[in-house]
Structure 1
Amino acid sequence: MSSFHKTLDSRTNIIGTKLKNNFPFVSSGIPSLDHIVGGGLPTGAIFAVEEDVLGTYSRVLAKYFLAEGVVCKHDLFIATADENPQDITKELPQPCTAPTEDEVSAVSGGVDKMKIAWRYERLGQVESSFGSNTNFGHHFDLSKHIDEDTIKQSSITYCDLNSKHESVKGFKNPIYFNLLARIKETVSKEEYQISSKNKNILRISIQSLGSPVWMAMDCEDYGVSSSYGQDLIKFMFCLRTILRDTNAVAFVTIPAHLFEDDHIMKRLLYSIDNAVRIESFAGSSRETNPVYKDYHGLFHVTKLSAIYSLVPFVPPSLDLAFKLRRKKFVIEKLHLPPELQETSEREQDDITATPPVTCGGFKKKDIDF
C-alpha cells in the first residue's frame, strides 16, 4: 500500500489532468467529447479523427485540443505538411469567460418554470448534450483568438515537414521516419517521463496524416503503390510504441476518405487507441433535409480501447450528431423532430391525392372523426 500511495501522489501534481484508474487523463478541449470517450484522453495513447470531406470540423477539433493545452500550460508539438505549423497557433480559440448560451437559458427559465403533472416531477431530465455538467475542460470562443504574448510564453515545438528529407531505411517516404525521430527526441525528455518529479504533459498534434501532400513531398522514387499504406501503418505502430508509458498524448487527424484502399484505415485502427469519424452535412443532400436542420453532421465512434482497465468504456449512445456554435462544439444524441412542418408541396400532394366525390356527396377531407 505504501508504494501505491507514492505512485498516486506522484501523478496528482500535473496541472490540467485528472486521475482515472491511477493514470492521468487530459481534456480534449470539448467536454462532450471527453464524456463520450470515457472521461478524457489518456496519456501515452493515440486519439485519431477521421476527417470530414472538407476537413473543416476536424481542424476545429485540433484547435480545441491545442487551445486546451495552452490554457493548462501543457507543452505542444505541432506537425503538418499542408500548411505552416506556426499559422495554426495564430488561430487558436480563446477560452470563454462569460456563461454559455445554455447556462443563460437555464437561469432565465428557472424563474418562470412551467408546472407539469405530478407524476413527472420526480423523473430526471433527459440529457441530450453530454458533458454539460462537468468541470473538466473548457469552452472556447471561435470568434476570438489567443493573444500572441500567451502563445510566445507557451512551450511549442514546430515540426516543419516541408524541408528536404534524405532517404532512410525502413520507410519508402522519409518524411515519416524524420517525424518519428523528432517525436522520439521530444518525448524522451525527463519532464515527460512517468518517474520524473517535475512532470508536464506533451500534446502532439499531427494534422492530415497521409494526405496527398505527404505523398508528393520528397518522393521522386516513391511510386503510388501498396507501399504507401505500409508506411502509414508502420508509422502508426512506431508512434504507439514511443508514446507508451509517457505523459504524452497524440491527436491525429487522418483524411481516410482520400485513401484508395479502404483496408488502410482498418489496419491503422489496430495501432490507434481511440478513434472517431466526422460525417459533415456540408455539400450533401442532408444539408437541406429538415430532419437534420438542428445539426451540422453525424459523429461516429469508431474505436474505444480498454486503456488501463479490463473492459472498454461504453458511451451512453452511439447515435450521435454534432453542431458547431460560436462558443462551443456540442455532441448530442441524434433526436429526430416529432413532426415535420407542412410545406406547399405536401399540401399540393394532399389536394391531388383527394379521392373523387362519392355517391353521398362527401369528400374524404370533410369527414371528421
Structure 2
Amino acid sequence: MSFRKRNVVIGTANNTSALPAAREGKSLAVGVRPSPLDGRLTTSTGTSSLDQLLAGHGGLPLGTSLLVQEAGTTDFGGTLLRYYAAEGLVQGHQVHVLGYGDTWRKELPGLETGKGKSKSSVQKGSTATDDKMKIAWRYETLGNSSKRPGPAKESSPSSLPNLGEHPFCHSFDLTRRLESTEIKGQVHTTLVNDSFGKATASPLRKFLAELSSKVQSMGPNTVHRVVCPGLLSPTLYTPSARRPREVLQFIHGLRALLRRYPTQLTAIVTMPITLFARSAGLTRWLEVLFDGVFELVPLQHQSQMALEPGKEDKSQGLLRVHSLPIFHEKGGGLEGSWVREDLSFKLSASSGLVITPYSLPPVGEEDEASGAANTPDDKKEKLEF
C-alpha cells in the first residue's frame, strides 16, 4: 500500500513546474505588461491617470479601442491622442494616423527633462503645509489619486520579463517637441482628402488594408497604435467619407482587426459630439462598436492649457465615463476605480492631462477671493495689521 500526502493534488506537480518555465521563456514587447487583474497584456496611453481609470488594468488592454467624445471647440482629445502617439514612438511601437500627414508628428510633446523647474514650483512646495490647514482632510487625499497604481504581488517587476528595463509610462512636456533621437518607432499616415480637397478612392478602406498588411508583415512582437483624430470632422472628411455606411464599415473593420490581433493592436479615436450628438443614430452605433467611451465636457471659463503655476490646480472640464474595456461579467476591477464618482480633468504644460475626482473648493476660499476682488484698495489698507 502506497502512501501519499493528503494535501497534494494528484498531477499538479508537473503543471506547476512547467508554468514558471514557460512564463520566463516568453518575452514581452517593450511598453507592454500583463494586467494585475487577469494577466491580459496592456500598454500605456501616455497618461498615467487614464491608465488607472481603465477598469483597474493599469493600462489600455491590447485588442481594445477607446472613443473620446468632446463638446465645444477645444482640443483636449487631440492632446490626449498626442500623448498616446508619443508614448508609442518612445516605446518603439508603430503609430498609424488617419486624416493627417507627416506634419502631425512634429506636434507631439517631448520627453520631460526635469531641468525646467521654476522657483515658483519650489515656493509652492514649501507652502504646501500652509495650504493643508485650509483644506479638509477629505480633499487632501484626492491629490494622490492621479498616481499610477502599482502592480500586484503576483505580477511584480521582478517576476515578469521586460518590466524593469523600460518605464511603462513616460512623462512628457507640452512646451517641448519630440526629437528624432527620442523616437524608436515609426509613423504611418493616411490622408482622407488630397491637396485639392477631393476624396481619394475609399480612403477608409485603404487605411484598413494598409494597417492589416503592416501588422501581418511586422511579426507578432510588434505593437501597433491606431490614432484617428477628429472622426467625421468636416475639416478632414468630405461628405462622401462621412456617410454612415462608410463610417460604420470602417469601424466594423477596425474592430475585426482588433479581435484578430488581440496582442498587437490598440486604437483611440476622438469625435466632436457638438456636430454629432449622442442622441443621433450614427453616434449610438459607434458607441456600441467601441470597447470604451469617454466624454470630455470643457468648462467655458477655463483656457486650453494652464501655463501659469497658480492655475494648474483648477479643473478645466468634466469627464464622463460611459463604458470601459471589461472582459468578464464581474466587471474587471470596477469596484476599485473612479467610475462611480464625478471626474474632472486639468491640462498643464508640466503635468499633462490629469484626471482626478471632481470636488468643489472650500467655501472659505471662494468667499475670500470674491471679497478681495470687490474690496477697494483704501479699505484693504485699513484692514491690514
What is the alpha-carbon distance in structure 2 between the residues aligned to residue 76 and residue 243 of structure 1?
A: 15
The corresponding residue for 1:288 is none
How many equivalent pairs are there? 314
The corresponding residue for 2:346 is 323
**Contact 1:209–1:252, Cα closer than 8 Å, also in 2:** yes
- The AA in structure 2 aligned to 1:301 is V
What is the alpha-carbon distance in structure 2 between the residues aligned to residue 264 and residue 249 of structure 1?
A: 22
Give the drift of 1:230.
Answer: 3.2
The corresponding residue for 1:363 is none
Among candidates 186, 190, 208, match of residue 214 of structure 2: 186
Structure 1 runs not aligned, ≥5 long: 168-173, 194-198, 285-291, 349-369
Task: Identify if the C-alpha distance between structure 1 residues 206 and 96 changes in structure 2 by more than 3 Å, giving closer, same or farther.
Answer: same
Task: Identify if the C-alpha distance between structure 1 residues 124 and 53 changes in structure 2 by more than 3 Å, giving closer, same or farther.
Answer: closer
- 1:32 aligned onto 2:76: no
**Which segment drifts farther, 71-80 or 257-266?**
257-266
Structure 2 runs not aligned, ≥5 long: 1-14, 150-166, 303-311, 376-385
CA deviations on 1:304-327 (whole Å, 9 max, x unpaired) are 131377523322343011111111
User: Over alpha carbons, which structure has the higher Rg?
Assistant: 1
CA deviations on 1:340-360 (whole Å, 9 max, x unpaired) are 326469999xxxxxxxxxxxx
Among candidates 70, 89, 111, match of residue 95 of structure 1: 111
Task: Give the alignment of 1:1-369 within 5 angstroms.
Answer: 1=15, 5=20, 8-9=23-24, 12-20=27-35, 21-37=38-54, 38=56, 39-80=58-99, 84-98=100-114, 108=125, 126-132=141-147, 134=149, 136-151=168-183, 154-163=185-194, 174-191=202-219, 193=220, 199-213=221-235, 215-216=237-238, 219=240, 228-244=243-259, 245-259=262-276, 262-282=280-300, 294-307=314-327, 310-314=330-334, 315-316=337-338, 317-327=340-350, 328-339=352-363, 340-341=366-367, 343=370
What is the alpha-carbon distance in structure 1 between the residues aligned to residue 129 and residue 317 of structure 2?
A: 34
CA deviations on 1:46-96 (whole Å, 9 max, x unpaired) are 11111342241111101100111122121211111xxx4211110111121
CA deviations on 1:246-277 (whole Å, 9 max, x unpaired) are 41111111123212662322211211111211
| 3-state SS of 1:230 partner | helix
Task: Identify if the C-alpha distance between structure 1 residues 111 and 34 changes in structure 2 by more than 3 Å, giving closer, same or farther.
Answer: closer
TM-score by length of 1: 0.72
What is the alpha-carbon distance in structure 1 between the residues aligned to residue 25 and residue 235 of structure 2?
A: 42
Give the drift of 1:207.
Answer: 1.1
| 3-state SS of 2:96 partner | strand
Percentage of identical aligned residues: 23
- The AA in structure 1 aligned to 2:171 is H
**Contact 2:83–2:172, Cα closer than 8 Å, also in 1:** yes
Task: Identify if the C-alpha distance between structure 1 residues 345 and 303 changes in structure 2 by more than 3 Å, giving closer, same or farther.
Answer: same
| 3-state SS of 2:319 partner | strand
**Contact 1:15–1:72, Cα closer than 8 Å, also in 2:** yes
| 3-state SS of 1:127 partner | helix
The CA RMSD over aligned residues, in Å, is 3.9
Task: Identify if the C-alpha distance between structure 1 residues 257 and 9 changes in structure 2 by more than 3 Å, giving closer, same or farther.
Answer: farther
The corresponding residue for 1:289 is none
